[in-house]
Amino acid sequence: MMNTLIMVALGGSIGASLRFLWGVSVLRLAGPGDFPVAIMVANIVGSFLMGAFVVLAAQRGLTHLSPFVMTGLLGGFTTFSAFSLETVTLIERGNIGGAGLYIALSVGLSVAGLMLGLWMMRGMLP
């Protein structure tokens, strides 16, 4: 268990660092904009890599690397990749309604949670 935790932590630190460097690079290349292109592309690339790794790991017997790659590296780079994988897993299992509900609740309630946090803290802090 401790080895797995270390692998997740190592992958997460690398993934989060890559996401930061990616955001800085896009900002320097494209300049500040009104649309979060860097995060959107990180989400798309991370989701693509998650899908590719799932198949590769299953076919090549590399599932032991999943905590490092999927939870750590890709989870640190973008949590959207894990969200995408769970959504597709529900769809592949034939649970289309569950997938739709998962998407709606995850996105809707996450945005609502963020707004609630902003609202509460703006009211509480001087």
User: What's the pLDDT score for residue 15?
Assistant: 96
CA distances (Å), origin 18, targets 22, 57, 82, 108, 119: 6, 22, 17, 27, 31
pLDDT at 55: 93
pLDDT tens for the chain, residues 1 to 126? 999 999 999 999 999 999 999 999 998 998 888 778 888 889 899 999 999 999 999 999 999 999 999 999 999 999 788 899 899 999 999 999 999 999 999 999 999 998 998 898 888 876
Query: How many Å apart are CA 116 and CA 100, to the nearest integer?
Result: 23
Predicted pLDDT of residue 81: 84
Comparing CA positions, the residue from 46, 50, 106 lying closest to residue 78 is: 46
> What local confidence, expressed as pLDDT, does residue 109 receive?
93
C-beta of residue 42 within 8 angstroms of C-beta of residue 19: yes
Flag whether 78 is marked binding: yes
Q: Where are the domains of the chain?
A: 2-94, 96-126
What is the rounded distance in angstroms from the CA atom of residue 41 to the CA atom of residue 47?
Answer: 10
